[in-house]
Structure 1
């Protein structure tokens, strides 16, 4: 599973889903602009980046995880992250995104008509991208599973 992650991620939005995926037998590969770097969550969790975005091919992964907080906004500064996520939508591979994570999906230009949850502050951004914003703990639309915030993590992980 590919995981797009950089500094200022919401700690539990990475650690809890990553642990659930690992317990289910999946490998979780972290991806940022540079491999080998340590990134730090908003609450101090340190995570080593496995791969740089220029070292990976979406075809090599079966799913995508995008944790939230400020990380997605920082990742969006580089178009390669949106292009990477775009392939998952086009290939109908599972995408798991929580809180501000759907900001990366906005850059795919493929959210028109997609039901999607996300943190309340990005609801208009999602609507402007053509998505149908839902204020629900878990929303599944096509191959995209989204949630609003950390309190939704149990439902997010269950689905």
Structure 2
């Protein structure tokens, strides 16, 4: 089974974290949370879900993981302020390994400058950002472009999980 790094920061979209991670765990995949600081606790937008960070982005490498998962909400916007998170995201996308991203997650791709020429879905408020960064916004519940699997938001979670599990094998 795959070892998945979950890039997560404060104010993530609770359901975009809980539903996919439950499905990944139930399928036998191992998950590690990656954020600003090991041991830090981050809370979802709805203040229902708390997640403790396993590893700091400065202490991880692409070789440690088979895939990464980036839930949406405000988390990706907060995460992209950290150069270590951006560097890790860039290296991971460029590695060709699966990158599973939903809602606002493409904000990390924009800052990492890995979106140009790629087909992606994302939350409607970042469509112009995706296009301005050279990405091709596709209004579908799941968009697969090479190693990237992206979805628009909470309504797309079932299709996102299905496509992600298929990609993970």
TM-score per shorter chain, which class? over 0.9
Post-superposition offset of 1:101: 0.7
The runs of 5 or more residues in structure 1 that have no matched partner are none
Contact 2:62 2:95 in 1 (8 A): no
The residue that corresponds to 1:33 in the other structure is 36
Give CA-to-partner distance per residue, 1:10-64, whole Å, 9 cap, x none: 0011111111111111111111111111110011211111111122112110001
The residue that corresponds to 1:59 in the other structure is 63
Q: TM-score when scaled to structure 1?
A: 0.97
Spell out the pairing of 1:121-140 with structure 2 (5 A cutoff): 121-140=125-144
Deviation >2 Å, runs of 4+: none
The residue that corresponds to 2:11 in the other structure is 8
Q: TM-score when scaled to structure 2?
A: 0.91
Post-superposition offset of 1:143: 0.5
Provide the alpha-carbon RMSD of the alignment: 0.8
Is 1:117 aligned with 2:121?
A: yes
The residue that corresponds to 2:45 in the other structure is 42
Give CA-to-partner distance per residue, 1:131-155, whole Å, 9 cap, x none: 1001111000010000001010000
Q: Structure 2 CA distance, aligned partners of 1:131 and 1:57?
A: 25
How many residue pairs are counted as aligned between the two chains?
A: 159
Give CA-to-partner distance per residue, 1:94-141, whole Å, 9 cap, x none: 000000011001122121111000000001111111110011110000
Q: Structure 2 CA distance, aligned partners of 1:59 and 1:125?
A: 30
The runs of 5 or more residues in structure 2 that have no matched partner are 164-169
Q: Structure 2 CA distance, aligned partners of 1:15 and 1:35?
A: 20
